[in-house]
Amino acid sequence: MSFTLAIVGRPNVGKSTLFNRLVGKKLALVDDQPGVTRDLREGEARLGDLRFTVIDTAGLEDATDNSLQGRMRRLTERAVDMADICLFMVDARTGITPTDEVFAEILRRKSAQVILAANKAEGNAAEAGVLEAYGLGLGEPLRLSGEHGEGMPDLYSILLPLSEKYEEQAEDLNAVVETDTDLEENEDEDEDTVYEVAMPTAEKPMQVAVIGRPNAGKSTLINKILGEDRLLTGPEAGITRDAISLRVNWNDVPMRIFDTAGMRKKAKVQEKLEKLSVSDGLRAVKFAEVVVVLLDAAIPFEQQDLRIADLAEREGRAVVIAVNKWDIEDEKQDKLKQLKESFERLLPQLRGAPLITVSAKTGRGLDRLNAAILRAYQVWNRRMPTAALNRWLTGMLEQHPPPAPQGKRIKLRYMTQVKSRPPGFVVMCSHPDKMPASYSRYLVNGLRQDFDLPGTPIRLTLRGQGDKNPYKDKKKKNAGALKKHLGNLPRSKK
């Protein structure tokens, strides 16, 4: 990435629409309602041959107190400080408002490089607004249409010389770093690896999604992991709307952590915007590798918590249960005992999954949460040798043979692991449609216990092979060929 571009402006001027066009995906939520975006969302933008980081920001509000709008403004001002270039967007159809003039003055003081863009500039209705934009004193306004893609070549021509300048600065900085850094040899290269699977790398970081009900503390927890107030937080429920992904090296493990919107009961989700937020969170779960289900210690394992945990299991993700706000719990030992009993009783499909108590406010328990995420990731990726699986299957059959429904004995002949992430197994058997679900659970529980697969979803498929002799058709074919051959011989040779 050569530089960072922050898109700033009043609410509902089209910042998220332009962000989605630059990254080539519908990552940010877009709606006619103003103030949809609240957090900073980063993406890898492509414009011609340019590659850069683009930041979508919350709409600049004329508020400086500790209200939600004030906190959103401070977060946007922070993005202005982080970015190399600011794209100040105004609505050409609405025209310049007093709020635009206030923020133009702020950008003149804060940002070294500002590009003024008049969005929604397609058609004659935008001419007056484009002319008004000259009065902001930020140079000639760039006519854009984020929705229709107009003005992208002009934006490219403005960014190209700026990108070359930042690339030169980055090359000079790298030269200084390489001169001052001593390369150390890795003495542990020949040691046996601790884990059974390849660890995440900077190119392929571990994908972790944090999900839960509203106001469980998801954004606060991620801020504590990052070590900075990167996400908008507060006492109000439902602050987060977009599924925001953030990259972090947590205890030297590269991760991409997704903060998701709180998920309420389906019957209570009526507004269009909340439906979009929940669907964005569900999409984050589908792309995640490890899902952290965050509960509130005061009201854990409510019906919605169970649904959320079951969703992660059905999607085949590695699951870690984290109980937040543990710092305000008085009877910790009794409460922990109750939590473990409730977990085993209410979520049997996640038997053995780690249950970690944390405090997003103080940071207590984060090391244990990190270790639990790594452990769940290893188990989720694990593969077992076929020979070991079949020896295990023989022992399970001797200990408890399968039933014989309607007098038909079910024979389990062969077993192998066909996939990981999550572990998936196939058992070749006769009459797979007759196999009771209870016996399948017996095999799954045995796999979980004997091969150390706690908490991860296990997929077991029964595949029919029939009772046919594999040489039966071959014998018939050989017999037919011999008969035909004898029939062609002269009578004297028969």
- Residues at the binding site for GTP are 9-16, 56-60, 119-122, 212-219, 259-263, 324-327
Residues 253-289: b if buried by 16+ CB within 10 A, e if exposed:
bbbbbbbbbbbbeeeeeeeebbebbbebbbebbeebb
- Show the tokens assigned to 322: 């984290």
Greatest distance between any 2 Cα atoms in the chain: 115
Could you check whether the bond before residue 422 is cis, i.e. omega within 30 degrees of 0? yes
Rounded to whole angstroms, the Cα distance separating 69 from 53 reads 25
Annotated binding site: 9-16, 56-60, 119-122, 212-219, 259-263, 324-327
DSSP-derived 3-state class of residue 96:
coil
Q: What is the CA 168 to chain-centroid distance, rounded?
A: 34
Q: What are the structure tokens assigned to 298, written together?
A: 């005061």
Distance from chain centroid for Cα 413: 39
CA distance 395 to 254: 41
How many Å apart are CA 296 and CA 56, to the nearest integer? 30
DSSP class per residue in 211-273: EESTTSSHHHHHHHHHTS--S---SSTT---S-EEEEEEETTEEEEEEE------GGG--SHH
Whole-number Å distance between alpha carbons of 456 and 298? 26
Contact 268, 345 (CB under 8 A): no
Quote the CA–CA distance of 79 and 73 in Å, as a whole number: 10
In angstroms, the CA 371 to CA 349 distance is: 22
Instruction: Give the span between the Cα atoms of 453 and 444, in whole angstroms.
Output: 10
| Cα 115 to Cα 98: distance, rounded to the nearest angstrom | 19
**Alpha-carbon distance 16 to 37, whole Å?**
8
